[in-house]
Structures are given as structure tokens and as C-alpha cells.
Amino acid sequence: MNRPRTNEDRRTYDVIVLGAGPTGENVAERTRAAGLSTVIVERELLGGECSYWACEPSKALLRPVLARADARRVPGLRQAVGGPLDVAAVLAHRDEIVFHWKDDGQVGWLDSVSVDLIRGHARLDGPRQVAVQTPDGDTVLLTARHAVAVCTGTAAAVPEIPGLDSVRPWTSREATSAGRVPGRLAVVGGGVVAVEMATAWQALGSQVTVLVRGDAGLLARMEPFAGHMVADGLREAGVDVRLGASVASLAREDGEVRIALADGGELAADEILFATGRVSRTADLGLETVGLTPGDWLTADDTCRVTAVADGWLYAVGDVNHRVLLTHQGKYQARIAGAAIGARARGELADETRWGAHAATADIAAVPQVVFTDPEVAAVGLTTREAERAGRRVEVVDYDIAGVAGAHQYADGYRGRARLLVDMDHGTVAGVTFVGPGVGELLYSATVAVVSEVPLERLWHAVPAFPTISEVWLRLLEAYRDRQQPGPS
């Protein structure tokens, strides 16, 4: 039986954006603001991974957990919050945050900024060409006058393990959208998703076991003390954290997941979550039609233009370029790329100098990140290890945040640590890491210090309010000053 031919619809725009997550939406908004006609193509929900299966739902699950943990450290309040969380209310709150997995509001926003929307699966079809298969089976053929921006993000990477398919594993999507609390949850991985989801589901009633393959510990890309303190916090909450634990095979028997470990040990769980990294969503994007390899990350320059494609019309923005896999950095890149596309469309040269208007310099020099665990972790700029690898001459200054008056006000028995990296050649801040309750709100000040390359002499005049945890900045500066002063002769 011959299938009927689909209808073909041909349209031309200045800019075509593939993917309507936060990154794609910001590219579209910026190019539209530059006066360029723009269309965005999305096959799932507008708002993307972050809005429905990552940042937003995970923080909705974690906020009650961390608020309760903070309240339990406050005299006069701890007795009032001694009981378990209201699981139904937490999950209902999560569902509200993600708009019950409906994107009507996002559609309305696109209309408000005059960006066209096509729903369907987009594939590149040669230079500046995109073919979209719509849910109705029709084909929309798009041509870009100036740019195509790939903003398709990433998907969860799941390792090949015997028996994997039989257990129907969780990825970050299932972990953030689950409608019930598993009695026992095994979490494979030691990164941000692993520790945040372990924090959330343990507090919601699961017995959580975290399996970390190597011996580097948790949050291995951050300062080592951050991972140690988060591991201590998880263990105190009842999580079983196992380092050097590698999964050899899996099976689901009588409804439970049987986990065989490489060292011969065994573990049983009701669900297993793999938080073992991300892969680019480029496997079915038509990259081969423009000389690229399907499934690869798209290497881009500081303006987010793909370096391997001639004529400079293809951009890769956000996670898909593998520069920094964080939503806020993707949105930052989108603002940069959108401005660069607009400038080039006007025949102007892009400003690609360090910290220039069209250069995503912060991807290299000042990436901020918060890990929403108990304790929280907030970091920006270089770690000690990264500074050593880069040959940067830095002075490491540590301070116990519990020594700040604001920490005593925040919580009884406050435990935290701050690290400041001072660039010895320039007298500026090269990196900052905070660990402790509430430290996420300190991060923007640290980011401004790193991005602005503020001399330490000037930071002495930035007076922190008393009594707040932000006084840790003063204590770090004092500790650094005291080290530099010569002793008595």
C-alpha cells in the first residue's frame, strides 16, 4: 500500500532555532530583538529539560527538604518541624512548578516576543536548510538567511550494563517527575544530579544508597572538601554512600532490582537511578548533511559559532556545544550568540575580545554553580586543582564559616567552609568555593568579584552587613592579609 505524500510548506526566516529550552528561547528572543525574523522548532515541551525534568522540578523537591533542615537548627523552631515531610504536598508543589507538564504559558511568551513556533522534529538538510516533520506527518522546509542555531541540549548517558533494559532504570527525568516514593532507591553516580536526588528522595522517605564507581568521592570536579562535607551530610541523613562501588549487572526479580557489584557484593532496590553524565542530542539532527558526525558534540568558538562549518551560518548554543552543561550558562551563551548573530546580520564585526559583547568569556573564567544539598555548595572560577593545571600562581585562603556571627544567627552548630583563591600575579580573585547552609546566596557577589577582576585592595571597601554570613568575605580578606604581613624581626 502506497503512503500518501505529505504536504510540503516552504518558509524563509532570518534565523532558525532548533530546540525551545531556556537556551533556544533566549537565542530567539535576542535575535528577534535585533530585528531578525525568527522561528523556533520544538518536538517536546517548550521550556525544555530544565523546566520540566531538571532544574525546576528538582529544586521544587529540594526546597522543602532544605527548609526543614535549616528550621531544625533554629532554637524554638526545631520541635515544630520534627515530623516527616508531607510527601503528597511536596509532589503536588513540584507538579505546580512544572505546570503539570503543560507549556501553554511558554507558547504565550513566544507570541509576546513575536517568535514563530513549529512543533515537530527538525533535521538539517544542507547549508542553511532545515526540514521539520510535524506531528501530523507534514513537512515544513525552512531556509535561514543568516543563521541556524542548534540548541537541542543533552540527554542522560546510561552505561551499557548487562540486564539494564530489564530493570527500566530511572534517569534524571524519572527522578524529578516520579509520582511515588520508592522504598529503596539506588543512585549510581557521584555528581550533582546524584547528590541532589539522593538528598531529596531520602528526605521524602526512601532508603537511598549512592554507588560511586571510583575513589575520587562526590562532586569530584569541585574542591575536595565540598564533596567530603556533602558526603558527611548525606550519611547523617541516613544515606548509604559507597565509594569504589561499580555495578556489574542488573536484573529485576519479583518487582525489585537486583544489583550485582564488581567486587562480588549485591544490593536490592525498588528503583535504580543512573546519574552518570550526559550525551549530546545530535544523533538524529541531520549533521551529516553539513559535513558533521551525528551524535557528536558541536565544537563552537566564543561566539557559539560552529568552527567546523564553512560560511559561519551554524551556531551551537548551550549544552550541545559541551562548553558548560548548566542552564544559566546556556542562557548566557544565548544572549552572546543572539547579539553576535544580530551584529553579523547588520554587516558588523563581532567583538570577540575577552569579555567582549560577543564572547562567552565567562564559560572559561567564571562559571557559577550551586549544588542544592545539605550543606549547600556554591562555587565560581577556578578550583585549586584547575589553577595548578593551568600554571596559575594562586594563594589558597580557607576560613571556617562558623566563625562568622551571621552563621550563629542562621543556625545552631553551623558547619561550613570557605575557600578563596587569590591570583598572586594580579592581586585579584581567581576562584571561590563556599560550603554550608544558605551559601548559595553568596555566589553572585563572588561571581562579580571574579568577572570584574576586582583588586583585593578595592574589596576591602566592600563592607559586608553585620550580622550576615556575607561577613565571611571580610574574614577571608583578613586571613589573606595576615599571611602577607611579615613577622617581627
- What cell does 391 get? 600554571
* Sign of the C-alpha dihedral computed for residues 54, 193, 329 and 60 taken in this order: positive
Whether 19 contacts 153, CB under 8 Å: yes
What are the backbone angles phi and psi of residue 201, rounded to the nearest 5°?
A: -75, -30
Q: What is the pTM of this model?
A: 0.95
Distance between CA atoms of 84 and 76, rounded to whole angstroms?
Answer: 18
- Collapsing DSSP states into helix, strand and coil, what is residue 435? strand
Distance between CA atoms of 111 and 92, rounded to whole angstroms?
Answer: 29
Residue 4 pLDDT: 42
Q: List the end-to-end C-alpha distance of the chain, in Å, as a whole number.
A: 98
Beta strands of 48-152 (E only): which ranges? 116-119, 121-124, 129-133, 139-150
Other CB atoms within a 10 A radius of the CB of residue 311 amount to 7
Distance between CA atoms of 60 and 176, rounded to whole angstroms?
Answer: 9
Other CB atoms within a 10 A radius of the CB of residue 35 amount to 10
What are the backbone angles phi and psi of residue 488, rounded to the nearest 5°?
A: -65, 145
Residue 484 pLDDT: 82
**DSSP for residue 426:** T
Residue 487 pLDDT: 61
Residue 120 pLDDT: 98
Q: What strands lie across the sheet with 207-212, from one edge to the other?
A: 240-243, 207-212, 184-188, 271-274
Reply yes or no: is the peptide bond before residue 375 cis, omega within 30 of 0.
yes
Residue 216 pLDDT: 87
Other CB atoms within a 10 A radius of the CB of residue 364 amount to 12
Q: Annotate 335-350 with b (16+ C-beta within 10 A) or e (fewer).
A: bbbbbbbbbbbeeeeb
**pLDDT tens digits in sequence order for the chain, 489 residues long:** 343 445 679 999 999 999 999 999 999 999 999 999 999 999 999 999 999 999 999 999 999 999 999 999 999 999 899 899 999 999 999 999 999 999 999 999 999 999 999 999 999 999 999 999 999 999 999 999 999 999 999 999 999 999 999 999 999 999 999 999 999 999 999 999 999 999 999 999 999 999 999 888 999 999 999 999 999 999 999 999 999 999 999 999 999 999 999 999 999 999 999 999 999 999 999 999 999 999 999 999 999 999 999 999 999 999 999 999 999 999 999 999 999 999 999 999 999 999 999 999 999 999 999 999 999 999 999 999 999 999 999 999 999 999 999 999 999 999 999 999 999 999 999 999 999 999 999 999 999 999 999 999 999 999 999 999 999 999 999 999 998 876 665
Residue 8 pLDDT: 73
Whether 186 contacts 209, CB under 8 Å: yes
Q: Hey, what's the torsion of the CAs at 195, 197, 201, 204, to 10 degrees?
A: 100
- Collapsing DSSP states into helix, strand and coil, what is residue 448? helix
Distance between CA atoms of 455 and 449, rounded to whole angstroms?
Answer: 9
Hunting for cell 532558525 — which residue is that? 16
The amino acid occupying position 424 is M
- What cell does 26 get? 533566549
The DSSP line for 254-323 is TTEEEEEETTS-EEEESEEEE---EEES-TTS-GGGGT--TT----B-TT-BBTTSGGG-EEE-SGGG-S
Distance between CA atoms of 322 and 389, rounded to whole angstroms?
Answer: 20
Q: HEC string of 12-47?
A: EEEEEEECCCHHHHHHHHHHHHCCCCEEEEECCCCC
Distance between CA atoms of 437 and 376, rounded to whole angstroms?
Answer: 5
Residues 6+ apart with CB under 8 A from 241: 209, 210, 212, 218, 231, 234, 235
